[in-house]
């Protein structure tokens, strides 16, 4: 199971959105949703949280997940299990990841995260 997440922000309006792409046995499932207005780093955590909630709700717990994010702060915080400024969001994310059998988190370049990025952009510009 692969999970790609990304957040998008519209600085002028303050709107935020998330894009999540789940790939299971070669089948892609796209998801997108609005997020509460916040800063970029918090939005990236919220996108990851939304992605893991969808994954667990759809496929159940105890999954092996390869989690890809283009947010260095999310990837590093998960790796260290520590974040000074995003402790609440990180704790929520780690709690969700603990429901999985194994989670391998990897930072990827923005260009490698196009699916989730496009979904987040679409959600941002809806309505």
**Averages of pLDDT over each 10 residues, the chain, 127 residues:** 96 91 96 95 98 97 97 98 97 98 96 96 85
**CB distance 49 to 96 below 8 Å:** yes
**For residues 88 and 14, what is the distance between their CA atoms, to the nearest angstrom?**
21
pTM over 0.85? The answer is yes
Give domain limits for the chain: 2-125
pLDDT for the residue 127: 53
pLDDT for the residue 116: 97
Indicate the CATH number for domain 2-125: 3.30.420.10
What are the residue ranges of helices labelled H in 1-127? 40-59, 72-80, 87-98, 114-125
Residue 42 tokens, joined: 């918090």
Burial of 86 (0-12, 13-18, 19+ CB in 10 A): buried
Cα–chain center distance at 47: 4
pLDDT for the residue 126: 82
Burial of 84 (0-12, 13-18, 19+ CB in 10 A): exposed
């Amino acid at each position: 199971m692969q999970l790609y997440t990304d957040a998008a922000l519209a600085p002028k309006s303050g709107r935020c959105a998330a894009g999540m792409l789940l790939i299971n046995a070669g089948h892609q499932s796209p998801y997108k949703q609005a997020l509460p207005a916040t800063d970029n780093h918090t939005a990236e955590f919220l996108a990851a949280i939304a992605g893991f909630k969808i994954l667990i709700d759809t496929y159940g717990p105890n999954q092996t997940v390869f989690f890809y994010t283009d947010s260095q702060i999310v990837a590093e915080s998960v790796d260290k299990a520590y974040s000074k400024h995003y402790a609440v969001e990180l704790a929520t994310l780690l709690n969700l990841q603990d429901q999985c059998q194994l989670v391998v988190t990897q930072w990827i370049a923005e260009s490698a995260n196009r699916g989730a990025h496009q979904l987040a952009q679409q959600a941002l510009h809806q309505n």
